[in-house]
Structure 1
Amino acid sequence: MDAAAQQRLDAYFSGIGDILAHPLRRESFAIYAMGLLGEAERKSIEPLAARACPDPTRVQAAHQSLQHFISNAHWDDHAVRRYAARYAIAAMAEHAPISAWIIDDTGFLKKGEHSVGVQRQYTGSAGKITNCQIGISLSVATRYHHVPIDFELYLPRSWADDPARRREARIPASVQYKSRIDLALGMIERAVREGIPGDIVLADPFYGNAHDFRETVRLLGLDYAVGIEAPTKVLLLSGSDPERCTPVSVGELGRRLGRRAFRRIAWREGTGRTLSSRFALRRVRVANRDGIPIAHHEPVWLLIEWLDGERQPTKFALTTLPARMSRKEIVRIYKERYRTEKVYEELKGELGLDHFEGRRFPGWHHHVTVALSCYAFVVAERARHFPPSAERTRFPEPFPLAA
């Protein structure tokens, strides 16, 4: 980093330090954050302490100090994350407004049974059921940049309902079992309450299949564009009386439309090629199992994608984006969900998100908070140095401005 960037980093850490209040916490946060931003291959507490301590005889003491800061010290994760989010958003918004909020989850592969929240469960990170923790994230994005602003650890009932495990992992009494859907909605509600800008929530079918997720997003004043699975039933809105029609699965509806109903749409320039596929868009009402007549459900767009090489449509989404919006713009916005893949790639590959070796609930959240704060600073620097006019420039390193 140049001198100006270093000054911005110092001021940024100073702002976080004001939240932490205690001098030792300020110092520990800075040491830990610089370790995550640095080039160490392994970014768990012990090697970070060793790299930060020039005196070999003091390494053990430095390790214990960082261990206490991350695993045991009481400081407000959400206040630090809120500060980091607003810092990055201010830089991003100079080029384009925050438009999308992206909900997703990722796995933290583990060995053993003692890391808080770990059990055998499915994670897309491994593409299978494996021993892991699951973290749910909320990221916000403009058309050009993105930043993760919040994270929650999913506690299965095997942890949330086990008093001995709760004591061992120091899970607060206020933390009870919540589904991944509820954790995601909690982050969205918190972001709305804190005035984070945004218009539309993007999510994959795990969240999009849940009608309570979609309805809560709408009650919070946001649009959504969410994946759904083929068995989801909808009522196609046409000139006929909708109450006399029978709901049909979106998979069957896609097959009935046939190839001629699908148009090729390009949504983004990828690495070496233009990303495109064939889409159909239809106005529907969803047959939710909520006891409310389908005629009273909100009309939404059903987006159907027919991938090249497939014999039938295989991807489906629902969105409340305005009817006046063009098909191409709807596709482009929905496909912005790819940004969460970049978030996980960079958080894990560059900032050691999945390197934490502690077992306790507070430690996991403190570690994630520092990683999110580092990411927010780097995103703000990217927005300053690489404005949209330079977005096609290719850089060899994922984090060209990392310390």
Structure 2
Amino acid sequence: MVLNRLLGVVTAEQVGGWDDDLWDFFLGFSHWFSRADVRWQAWKYLRGLMAPIERRSGWSLAEHAGDATPDKMQGLLVSRCLDRDKLRDEVRSALVAAIGDEAGVLVADETGFIKKGRSSAGVQRQYTGTTGKIDNCQLGVFLTYHTRHGRAHVDRELYLPKSWTDDRDRCRRAHIGDDVPFATKPEQARSMLERAVDAKVPFAWFTGDEAYGQNRALREWCEQQDIHYVLATRKDHEVASGLHTTTRVDALIGKVRAGAWRRMSCGDGAHGPRVYDWTSVPIRTEFEHGRRGWVLARRSISSGELAYYVCFGPRGTRLRRLVATAGARWAVEESFQIAKNEAGMDQYQFRRYDAWYAHITLSMAAAAFLTITRAREAEKGAPPATTARTA
């Protein structure tokens, strides 16, 4: 078997142990495949997702598994003998056990899956950051868990535009149940946050981009639940600046004196520390649970371009904590990259709604195993991670 994203130069004993570890990891959730043949097919599918195959299509996964046709692989994804949500929960529990941290951050973000035609569940022409333009694609909304020990996706939802939910016949053809309603991306993020809270995932902060920061209902729900957040927002977002007045965030930050800006890193990126100038201004209103609110601003050192965030958290929260939380949002990009490149998340060729959830959850499981392995080897003092593939 081949494992990807391995940890530098390691011993033969470590490499040999990873195959056994993957089997043990699989056994932790294998009981959610209620038939032995489906369970065995899931094991082969999981191993195939982590193999050095050029593209993990049904045919290539079948060939890697020794199957004559892709029928069994395709049958696995639509099988009623697989509990997709229980599988998700088990993967999340395994991740929490390996990288859990009370100071962790939950990140909501989406990614696009480029498609042809109109039959794949949820597909339509819509903007996706995957290509940076409007494209024919599906959009998956994900919740990512980020801690000092590692990061990985812990939940997922397929976004269904109104062009789908308003056409129940079209939904039925893609095996989308009549009980599946339209939900905005912030509503999907809230549902995933609720599940994380119910599962007692340890975390201190929640973050997301403007799609979530601009949603008042999501922010108010977080405040009611005492979920601390740092959420990106637009420059024309208005916040309380007095007893009966509001001010745009760009105007509020524009009044900050030059000496109030602090240069600091919000985390490491592909080219080293991401260093910007930062400042924050308190929001003049009372929040639930005795919390405080702030407007956080980020200024590019090279161009002077500004970005804004609205924040909610404990009194006395330091600027460095708000900055670190804002920076955690970029961690999700690495998680998407690993899941797509190393666990075949975007390499599927089916149309059904239930098949999407099966494949995505198994891909999340494969990526979670890599994160867990990386954290375990780091504890042992193994060399830093590389992207090299090792047989």
Q: TM-score, normalised by structure 2?
A: 0.90
Q: Which residue of 2 aligns with 1:379?
A: 371
**Among 353, 356, 360, the residue aligned to 2:352:** 360
Q: C-alpha separation between the residues in 2 aligned to 1:191 and 1:211?
A: 21
Q: What displacement does 1:299 show?
A: 3.9
* 1:323 counterpart = 2:336: no
1:136 counterpart letter in structure 2: V
Q: Which residue of 2 aligns with 1:239?
A: none
**Among 340, 344, 349, the residue aligned to 2:341:** 349
2:278 counterpart letter in structure 1: F
Q: What displacement does 1:330 show?
A: 2.1
What secondary structure is seen at the aligned counterpart in 2 of 1:32? helix
* 1:183 counterpart = 2:188: yes
Q: Which residue of 2 aligns with 1:118?
A: 123
Q: Which residue of 1 aligns with 2:297?
A: 304
* 1:218 counterpart = 2:253: no
Q: 2:267, 2:328 within 8 Å by CA — same for their partners in 1?
A: no
1:251 counterpart letter in structure 2: D
Judged with a 3 Å threshold, the aligned counterparts in structure 2 of structure 1 residues 81 and 295 are, in CA distance, closer, same or farther, namely closer
Q: Size of the alignment, in residue pairs?
A: 376
Judged with a 3 Å threshold, the aligned counterparts in structure 2 of structure 1 residues 159 and 271 are, in CA distance, closer, same or farther, namely closer
1:320 counterpart letter in structure 2: F
Q: 1:19, 1:80 within 8 Å by CA — same for their partners in 2?
A: yes
Q: 1:160, 1:166 within 8 Å by CA — same for their partners in 2?
A: yes
Per-residue CA distance 1:152-185 (angstroms, 9 max, x = gap): 0000111112122112101012211111111111
* 1:395 counterpart = 2:377: no
What secondary structure is seen at the aligned counterpart in 1 of 2:200? coil
2:377 counterpart letter in structure 1: H
**Among 129, 134, 141, the residue aligned to 1:136:** 141
Q: Which residue of 1 aligns with 2:3?
A: none
Q: Which residue of 2 aligns with 1:265?
A: 264
Q: Which residue of 1 aligns with 2:332?
A: 340
Which moved further from structure 2: 186-195 or 261-270? 261-270
Q: C-alpha separation between the residues in 1 aligned to 2:279 and 2:287?
A: 24
Q: Which residue of 2 aligns with 1:79?
A: 86
What secondary structure is seen at the aligned counterpart in 2 of 1:112? coil
Q: Which residue of 2 aligns with 1:152?
A: 157
Q: 1:99, 1:140 within 8 Å by CA — same for their partners in 2?
A: yes
Judged with a 3 Å threshold, the aligned counterparts in structure 2 of structure 1 residues 167 and 90 are, in CA distance, closer, same or farther, namely same
Q: C-alpha separation between the residues in 1 aligned to 2:202 and 2:95?
A: 12
Q: C-alpha separation between the residues in 1 aligned to 2:300 and 2:257?
A: 13
Q: C-alpha separation between the residues in 2 aligned to 1:22 and 1:382?
A: 31
Q: Which residue of 1 aligns with 2:169?
A: 164
Q: What displacement does 1:323 show?
A: 3.1
Judged with a 3 Å threshold, the aligned counterparts in structure 2 of structure 1 residues 98 and 6 are, in CA distance, closer, same or farther, namely farther
What secondary structure is seen at the aligned counterpart in 2 of 1:320? strand
- Structure 1 ranges of 4+ moved more than 6 A: 294-298, 388-391
* 1:228 counterpart = 2:233: yes
Q: C-alpha separation between the residues in 2 aligned to 1:270 and 1:33?
A: 29
Q: 1:89, 1:98 within 8 Å by CA — same for their partners in 2?
A: no
2:357 counterpart letter in structure 1: H
Per-residue CA distance 1:105-144 (angstroms, 9 max, x = gap): 0111111111110001111111111111100000112123
Q: 1:98, 1:141 within 8 Å by CA — same for their partners in 2?
A: no
1:80 counterpart letter in structure 2: L
Q: C-alpha separation between the residues in 1 aligned to 2:321 and 2:292?
A: 19
1:255 counterpart letter in structure 2: G
* 1:2 counterpart = 2:15: yes
- After superposition, the CA RMSD in angstroms is 2.2
Q: Which residue of 2 aligns with 1:65?
A: 72
Q: 1:136, 1:153 within 8 Å by CA — same for their partners in 2?
A: yes
Q: Which residue of 2 aligns with 1:290?
A: none
Judged with a 3 Å threshold, the aligned counterparts in structure 2 of structure 1 residues 273 and 353 are, in CA distance, closer, same or farther, namely closer
Q: C-alpha separation between the residues in 1 aligned to 2:223 and 2:382?
A: 36
Q: C-alpha separation between the residues in 1 aligned to 2:287 and 2:97?
A: 40
Q: What displacement does 1:389 show?
A: 6.9
Q: Which residue of 1 aligns with 2:8?
A: none
Per-residue CA distance 1:314-343 (angstroms, 9 max, x = gap): 201112232323212321122111110001
Q: C-alpha separation between the residues in 1 aligned to 2:236 and 2:178?
A: 39
Q: C-alpha separation between the residues in 2 aligned to 1:259 and 1:165?
A: 57
Which moved further from structure 2: 9-18 or 270-279? 270-279
Q: What displacement does 1:188 show?
A: 0.8
* 1:26 counterpart = 2:39: yes
Q: Which residue of 1 aligns with 2:52?
A: 39
Unaligned segments of structure 1, at least 5 residues: 237-241, 286-293
Judged with a 3 Å threshold, the aligned counterparts in structure 2 of structure 1 residues 52 and 89 are, in CA distance, closer, same or farther, namely same
2:386 counterpart letter in structure 1: F
What secondary structure is seen at the aligned counterpart in 1 of 2:240? strand
What secondary structure is seen at the aligned counterpart in 1 of 2:301? coil
Q: C-alpha separation between the residues in 1 aligned to 2:49 and 2:267?
A: 31
Judged with a 3 Å threshold, the aligned counterparts in structure 2 of structure 1 residues 295 and 380 are, in CA distance, closer, same or farther, namely closer
Per-residue CA distance 1:267-300 (angstroms, 9 max, x = gap): 3344554321111111014xxxxxxxx6678740
1:124 counterpart letter in structure 2: G
Q: C-alpha separation between the residues in 2 aligned to 1:325 and 1:261?
A: 16
Q: Which residue of 1 aligns with 2:248?
A: 249
Which moved further from structure 2: 43-52 or 382-391? 382-391
Q: What displacement does 1:5 show?
A: 2.3
1:140 counterpart letter in structure 2: Y
1:15 counterpart letter in structure 2: G
